[in-house]
Amino acid sequence: MRNNINFLVIISVVVVLCSCSKRNSNKIIDNQVTIINQFKSKSVLRSRGHNIIILNTIKSNKKNAYYFQIDKSKLVFLSETIEYTPEQFLTKQKQDSLQYQRKLADSLSLMLKTMDNLEIRDIESDLSDIGINLKIYLKGSKGVLLYISDVSAIKGEFWSSYINSYEKLNENWFYSKSGR
């Protein structure tokens, strides 16, 4: 009898965890227009435990990387690695100016707010050249979502089988609990 109760408790926990992951996925899919527009050609990665955030912008296979540290809930610009002329909203300021750094921090803050509201830990657009527009890591190891605007545009056998290992949620969205 006791084993049956333990088994039922375990099954209940698994069902609740799975449904929470699906709910997060649905919340993101419901806000897909905002996410796609806000994160097109951008990646936001949070370090594990070091309060460092990296904002990458991607253009024609070139990447600009901006490094920030969170200090007392404020974003502090640390450094950058530039491979192409920075985004248009930044080009009017000199790259070493405080105004330039503030605009970067403000832009990143808006992205982080969206991510936190949707329980997103990291978001990547680095795989766009092979057809995966966004790879979204959910907070709390609740899985990974892929957004693919055109599945027929996926390049390569490896990436096709990679996507097929995910659960298809709709025509453009795929989910994996393991997030490999």
Torsion angles phi and psi, residue 177, rounded to 5: -70, -40
CB within 8 A of 84, min separation 6: which ones? 59, 60, 62, 64
Q: How confident is the model at residue 13 (pLDDT cuts 50, 70, 90)?
A: very low
Q: What's the pLDDT tens digit per position in 76-108?
A: 999 999 898 876 555 555 556 888 888 899 999
Mean pLDDT, rounded, for 123-139? 94
Residue 132: its pLDDT value, please?
95
Contacts 24+ apart (CB under 8 A), 46-54: 46/121, 46/122, 52/78, 53/108, 53/112
Q: What's the pLDDT tens digit per position in 159-174?
A: 999 999 999 999 999 9
Residue 122: its pLDDT value, please?
96
CB within 8 A of 123, min separation 6: which ones? 35, 39, 42, 43, 44, 115, 134, 135, 136, 137
Burial class of residue 172 (count of CB atoms within 10 Å of its CB; 0-12, 13-18, 19+): middle
Closest CA to 64 of 89, 43, 40, 78: 43
Residue 19: its pLDDT value, please?
39
pTM for the model = 0.81
For residue 8, pLDDT over 70 is answered with no
Q: Is 124 helix (H, G, I), strand (E, B) or coil?
A: strand
Q: What's the pLDDT tens digit per position in 48-79?
A: 877 999 999 999 889 999 999 998 889 999 99
Give me the DSSP letters along 8-63.
HHHHHHHHHHHHHHHHHHHHHHHTHHHHHHHHTTEEEEE-SSS-EEEEEEEETTEE
Q: What's the pLDDT tens digit per position in 106-125?
A: 999 999 999 999 999 999 99
Residue 136: its pLDDT value, please?
96
